[in-house]
Amino acid sequence: MSTLLVEQDGPLAIVRLDKGRGNAIDDALLADLTDWSGEAARDDTLRGIMLASAHPKLFCPGLDLLSLVDLDREAMSDFMGRFAATLWSLYGLLKPMVACVNGPAVAGGCILALTADSRVLARGAAIGLNEVKIGVPLPWSVVMLLKGAVPPQAVSEVALLGRNFTNDDAIRVGLADLVVEREALEHAALARLQEFAEKDALAFSATKGWIRSQTIAAMKAHESETNDVWLDSWFSAPTRERLHQMVASLRKN
């Protein structure tokens, strides 16, 4: 897989995002994540997964705007359909998964982390959903995922203010479960994963499946019919202006 590094450690796997432009999400990364999650679901020897980054100080900055900004409406609609399908696959994986967030995990990066059972965050690393600041709504599947992952009282703050959170604030709103110093991050994430993985596999998978079943059904129920609203926002004049400013800044850097 060209965008993932997979390291097997006995019954545990470390899956590292390893893509150019800081792991920004494009079709290649979506395809690899979907294919890998299918393989992981079928591997009876695999007891747990740590989702991490191969980049030393960055988890994932969200969508790869450089490759997406010039897509027409039909192509962007197809991409968002594939993005939703990847989320369904990751969130529906019934084996334990812990996200090891070593650096900024914003927008789509935060969304990938939310598919895990637990998120261990490096101190000072930012995590959040900034879509409303850019001028697009959170996709339907993401809203359902968010509601299933964070406390009800934090949903509005996370979804509607477009803020990034660090340290104790990230724990307070449910975007992180544990914050540790950077040098202890992977050890802490693996310890959390081991705690999940040592449970009876059938009991764990059945319970996780029942916990997540309603959220997954809700994610799939209205994704396609709400996509037009998302696309209307993505292609609106104010949002296009903001996107092109962001792309210009990325190209300059």
Q: Give residue-wise pLDDT tens across range 221-239.
A: 999 899 999 999 999 999 9
Express each pLDDT in 189-201 by its tens digit: 999 999 999 999 9
pTM metric for this prediction: 0.95
Q: With 90 as the cut, is the pLDDT of residue 150 above it?
A: yes
Extended beta strands in the chain, E state: 4-9, 12-17, 48-53, 97-101, 105-106, 118-122, 127-128, 164-165, 178-180
Which amino acid belongs to residue 34? Answer: T
Q: With 80 as the cut, is the pLDDT of residue 129 above it?
A: yes
Q: With 80 as the cut, is the pLDDT of residue 155 above it?
A: yes
Contact between residue 97 and residue 116 where contact means Cβ atoms under 8 Å apart:
yes
* Nearest in space to 244 (alpha carbons), one of 70, 77, 14: 70
Structure token digits, residue 68: 């997406």
Residue 180: Cβ-neighbour burial (10 angstroms; 0-12, 13-18, 19+): middle
Note the pLDDT of residue 78: 96
Q: What percent of the chain has pLDDT over 90?
A: 94
Contact between residue 64 and residue 26 where contact means Cβ atoms under 8 Å apart:
yes
Contact between residue 140 and residue 222 where contact means Cβ atoms under 8 Å apart:
yes
β-strand partners of 120 = 100, 178
β-strand partners of 100 = 120
Express each pLDDT in 8-57 by its tens digit: 888 999 999 999 888 999 999 999 999 999 999 999 999 999 999 999 98
β-strand partners of 4 = 17
Going from the C-alpha of 163 to that of each of 106, 135, 175, 246, the distances in angstroms are: 9, 14, 12, 17
Lookup result for tokens 């997954």:
216
Q: With 90 as the cut, is the pLDDT of residue 156 above it?
A: yes
With a CB cutoff of 8 Å and minimum separation 6, the contacts of 81 are: 223, 224, 227
Note the pLDDT of residue 253: 74
What mean pLDDT do residues 174-184 have? Answer: 97
Note the pLDDT of residue 82: 96
Q: What percent of the chain has pLDDT over 70?
A: 100
Per CATH, domain 4-197 is 3.90.226.10: yes
What mean pLDDT do residues 95-111 have? Answer: 97
